[in-house]
Structure 1
Amino acid sequence: MWQVKPELNQNHERLQSVEHLDVIFRGAHIIPVFGNGSLPDNFVFSYSLDAFKTFYVNKYADHHANEIAF
């Protein structure tokens, strides 16, 4: 699996943009890099994109994902 990180601006804030649905080619399976600590009991999965800095991309999720990603 590959590791990916969001792109940051000069102030170390995540760059954000709205993408048109026509430019999305395929969904991706991403898994957070948890590190050594544990998650709090009240952690809500919907905050994962904001809570983690790095993610794994599962290139083996299906046959086409491996061909398209790299």
Structure 2
Amino acid sequence: MRREHIRACPLWRNEAPRYDCVFVNTDAARVMCFFSLTFEAVSYPCAVVCWFDKADDRPDEDTGMWIVRPSYDADHSPSVGIIHIDSIYRAAHLIPIYGTHTIPQDLKHYNSYDAFRAFYINKFADHHAFEIAS
């Protein structure tokens, strides 16, 4: 059995925020916060996530990878949900779709999920990702 660390912290290594992406069942989401709540003496470990939507009903024709975009509600705010951590399947690796514009020189790696409009789900990250995202 392998263990993964999924991080959601506002200050990672005293530099910048880090909010990892995950597979939640068959969907992709970005974990913004972990917390737990207790109800009737039962503790429920949860996560606050920002959802991604699939861009199409099938993978990209050229790359074979799924394309996702951040999901937004009707008022244009990010689509946010609270999930039980047991619904997180594993970490996901997203690759920005760069487009034709020049990437600003001051863009930091930790801003990439906020700076791009669409992402490939990297099924080539490892064997398990390939099985999930194919």
Q: TM-score, normalised by structure 2?
A: 0.46
Q: Does 1:65 align with 2:120?
A: no
Separation of aligned partners in 1, 2:132 and 2:105:
37
Deviations 1:10-66 (A, max 9, x none): 123321235444332211111001110111111112111111110011112212212
Query: Larger C-alpha radius of gyration, 1 or 2?
Result: 2
Q: TM-score, normalised by structure 1?
A: 0.79
**Aligned pairs, how many?**
70
Secondary structure of the 2:112 match is helix
Map 1:1-70 onto structure 2 (within 5 A).
1-70=65-134
Counting aligned pairs with the same residue, the percent is 44
Secondary structure of the 1:17 match is strand
Q: Which has the higher strand share?
A: 2
Larger RCO: 1 or 2 (CA < 8 Å, sep 6+): 1
Q: Which has the higher helix share?
A: 1
